[in-house]
Amino acid sequence: MTAAALALSARDRIEACLARIADPAGEGSRAFTRVYADTARAAAEAADARARLGRSLGPLDGRIVSVKDLFDMPGEVTTAGSTLLRDAAPATAMAPAIARLAAAGAVLVGKTNMTEFAFSGVGINPHYGTPGNPADRSRIPGGSSSGGAVSVADGMAEIAIGSDTGGSTRIPAALCGITGWKPSQYRVPTAGAFPLSYALDSIGPMARSVTDCALADAVMAGETPQAPVAAPLAGLRLGIPRGPLLDGLDPVVAAAYDAALKLLGGTGVRLTDEPLALLSEAAEVNARGGLTAAESFFIHRAWIDSRADAFDPLVRTRIDRGRAISAADYIHMQHRRRDLIAAMDLRLGDLDALVLPTTPIPAPKIADLAASEPAFTAANIALLRNTSAGNFFDLCGISLPLPVAGGLPVGLMLLARNGQDARLLRIAAAVEGLISGK
């Protein structure tokens, strides 16, 4: 946030967010599934009182945060974007990652909409509506953390908490013109978040700046939050992953990416072409069906067999792919992934990060994808292609917005080795400053 915005009281800022959520001409009714107006006002007033007394709980005290509707909140049913869970038992405790934010003084404004059970990168939800992309309301917001990205881009929240199993914070951030962060998986607890894939789920924030993402990430990880100091750009070693992750780029994406590379090259960054044969080996592993299909079918198999009609058909089809994956195939995928993670870690040892487009395409039209399963499937595959590599190889990653004059938002993604989160955030802060001219 800007210094001027933060100079306003938390109560003033939450009132502005609530007004935007309630605006009938806006996306609040589709971006949010639940709004905590009364408790948010009380939390904001408490933050203001602490500020007057000089007793701040830290840099997130009084910040307005939205929460994806797959995180448990006490006394509430966690619906995970589905109608199947409407009659489930309410949660008895707050998800640990969210509880840490609340303890740090964050003002929780509400639960945000999402792809049903977080199983697509598109963001369409036939049950609760699809929030329109802030750049063009006829286009998808990206998924699965669709409502969260729109909540930040539309000024209904300052930070949004989502999940990222194949790109679900970075994809909507890229398509909506904001920043999205995926940490190394081990750092942030996934307890209390409805699972999609035990092997791949990560928890991350979306915001308008690298700093806000870094602060929220640190709090959720149980670390001391502090703004990342931008790393020197000169001498950084950034790899360009030549091959499938750069194939078939939309002209708008390609132009923005090429401009970003030229800008980086002018600062003394060492850009090197890096063919990554390991990507093909990962594709061979996932050709067996993928870990997400196997694990999601395990989670949903009783419902798939007894209440199939209650699912979004596009989600049900993806889950049901796991039915054909044998135990032997699942174990094989896990073992091969473990070996490939180690190999990729070694392969990236001489690089500070990989740099590539977050998605190869900008946001498609909602109507085009909702009317055609082949069009939906093609778009979903394209949107997940680049980001899912970060999840498979257990990397940390961030999507930064690229300037596109008069066009749809485009994201620039940086991926780094597992555990290099703090370093990547420093690099991202420097790249953000370069791109924005600040």
Distance CA 158, CA 153 (A): 9
CB 337 within 8 A of CB 392: yes
The tokens 């993806």 sit on which residue?
A: 318
Distance CA 381, CA 313 (A): 17
CB 73 within 8 A of CB 94: yes
Active site residue 438: no
CB 359 within 8 A of CB 411: yes
CB 288 within 8 A of CB 331: no
Active site residue 9: no
Choosing from 66, 120, 144, 209, which is the catalytic residue? Answer: 144
Query: Coil, strand, or helix at residue 163?
Result: strand
Choosing from 163, 168, 202, 296, which is the catalytic residue? Answer: 168
Active site residue 280: no
Choosing from 68, 120, 145, 209, which is the catalytic residue? Answer: 68
Measured between alpha carbons, how far is residue 58 from residues 102, 113, 183 in Å?
11, 28, 21
Distance CA 314, CA 273 (A): 37
The tokens 């690089």 sit on which residue?
A: 351
Nearest by Cα to 400 from 228, 198, 174, 213: 174
Nearest by Cα to 399 from 221, 275, 256: 256
Active-site positions? 68, 144, 168
